Chain A
Amino acid sequence: NAGVTQTPKFRVLKTGQSMTLLCAQDMNHEYMYWYRQDPGMGLRLIHYSVGEGTTAKGEVPDGYNVSRLKKQNFLLGLESAAPSQTSVYFCASSYRTGRTEAFFGQGTRLTVV
């Protein structure tokens, strides 16, 4: 049981390049989330999904797109990376009912130069 797995773990991008971060969970969770964490700060919610085929904006959605084509996967895309998107990105997932805590992945450290 791997829990929440993020790919890749590290990436360096040049300004203007695009990339996709993959999040996979094997707990059959309905809800999935993408957060970013800048140095010395708490996590901020970028986008979230409450089910397959649905997505919604969080606190800081600008510059990012997401897709949830399969229940177990949640993709975060950067179409044109900017230095301000240098951050650590965390994916999380949770059940819709019952246990309501979120389970987090180990993070993706992204640097945009």
Chain B
Amino acid sequence: DAKTTQPPSMDCAEGRAANLPCNHSTISGNEYVYWYRQIHSQGPQYIIHGLKNNETNEMASLIITEDRKSSTLILPHATLRDTAVYYCIVRVLDNFNKFYFGSGTKLNVKP
């Protein structure tokens, strides 16, 4: 599975959009981009995933660049409850759904 690079931490004002970047320059054509978050040492929570098209669900939007070498997770209106560590993971679908976590980005949402 491809490696990912994320900033260790980011700040965001409450109510503003949080844009979390992820670099995956060695991604292969059959690898998907997944995002999880972990709130205060709870179990990780799935947010969204995509292959090459932009995706949106009730939690967030995922923007993947045309060359697929990077992506951005967007939380449109961040709240204090969105303070968490966000993990960007790339993987193929046929590896028994194993996920390999990096260090992630600690998002601090401030009032």
Contacts and interface: CB of A to CB of B under 8 A. Distances in A.
B is bound to A = yes
Interface stretch (A11-19, A64-72, A104-112): A104-112
A103 to B, nearest CB: 7
| Interface residue tally on B, bucketed by range | 10 to 19
B102 A4 contact: no
Interface stretch (B17-25, B68-76, B92-100): B92-100
Find the residue from B49, B100, B103 having the highest chain A CB count within 10 A: B100
A31 B96 contact: yes
Interface in A37-87: 37, 40-45, 48, 50, 56, 58-59
A101 B87 CA distance: 13
Interface of A: 4, 31, 33, 35, 37, 40-45, 48, 50, 56, 58-59, 88, 90, 92, 94-96, 100-107
Interface of B: 34, 41-46, 49, 87, 93, 96-104
List of 9 A-B pairs having minimum Cβ-Cβ separation, nearest first: A104-B43, A42-B101, A101-B46, A43-B101, A94-B97, A104-B44, A106-B43, A50-B96, A42-B102
7 contacts: A42-B87, A42-B101, A43-B44, A50-B96, A101-B46, A101-B49, A103-B46
